[in-house]
């Protein structure tokens, strides 16, 4: 497959994960989410869309850098790890916003955070740049985990 086709497919796959998450998130922002007690470090709502759009783009480029490296055990492990974290990413939106449950969100975001770390570790073995591209994602999910926990405690 041509490398630019792989790039486009990688970015589209990650952006689609974001769209699936948004289906559960967007309808609940103005209603349910706005009624929750939130900690002082909660970013303004307008930050989330551009941030996630950027993070999914970086994830797509990282995926592309690893996907093009062949089908040996190390690369396949890295790709499996990526797929697992992307699924957990979608499941968090369903758990937190779709089910309107900070507790279920917390039960998903902690394994998500761990899986992102595992993905960075496995990507680093294949392509360092791919691993570095996922660091902002890990940092954002670290903030999201703290926010999810605080919302659970405050509500």
Q: What is the pTM of this model?
A: 0.95
Helix axes 3-28, 73-93, angle to 10 degrees: 20
Confidence check: pLDDT of 1 > 80: no
Q: How confident is the model at residue 97 (pLDDT cuts 50, 70, 90)?
A: very high
Per the structure, the count of domains in the chain is 1
Q: What is the 3-state secondary structure (H, E, C) of the chain?
A: CCHHHHHHHHHHHHHHHHHHHHHHHHHHHHHHHHHCCCCCCCCCHHHHHHHHHHHHHHHHHHHHHHHCCCCCHHHHHHHHHHHHHHHHHHHHHHHHHHCCCHHHHHHHHHHHHHHHHHHHHHHHHHCHHHHHHCHHHHHHHHHHHHHHHHHHHHC
Judged on CB neighbours under 10 Å (0-12, 13-18, 19+), 155 is exposed
Could you list the residue range(s) of the whole structural domain that residue 59 is in? 3-154
pLDDT, tens digit (0-9, with 9 covering 90-100), for 110-144: 999 999 999 999 999 999 999 999 999 999 999 99
CATH number at residue 88: 1.20.1260.100
């Amino acid at each position: 497959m041509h490398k630019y086709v792989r790039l486009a497919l990688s970015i589209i796959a990650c952006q689609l994960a974001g769209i699936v998450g948004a289906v559960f998130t967007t309808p609940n922002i103005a209603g349910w989410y706005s009624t929750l007690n939130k900690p002082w470090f909660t970013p303004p709502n307008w930050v989330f869309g551009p941030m996630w759009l950027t993070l999914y783009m970086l994830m797509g480029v990282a995926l592309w850098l690893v996907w093009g490296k062949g089908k040996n055990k190390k690369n396949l492990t890295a790709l499996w790890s990526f797929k697992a974290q992307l699924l957990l990413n979608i499941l968090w939106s369903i758990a937190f916003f779709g089910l309107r449950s900070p507790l279920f969100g917390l039960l998903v975001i902690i394994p998500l955070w761990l899986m992102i770390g595992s993905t960075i570790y496995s990507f680093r073995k294949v392509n360092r740049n791919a691993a570095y591209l996922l660091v902002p994602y890990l940092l954002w999910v670290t903030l999201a985990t703290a926010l999810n926990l605080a919302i659970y405690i405050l509500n």
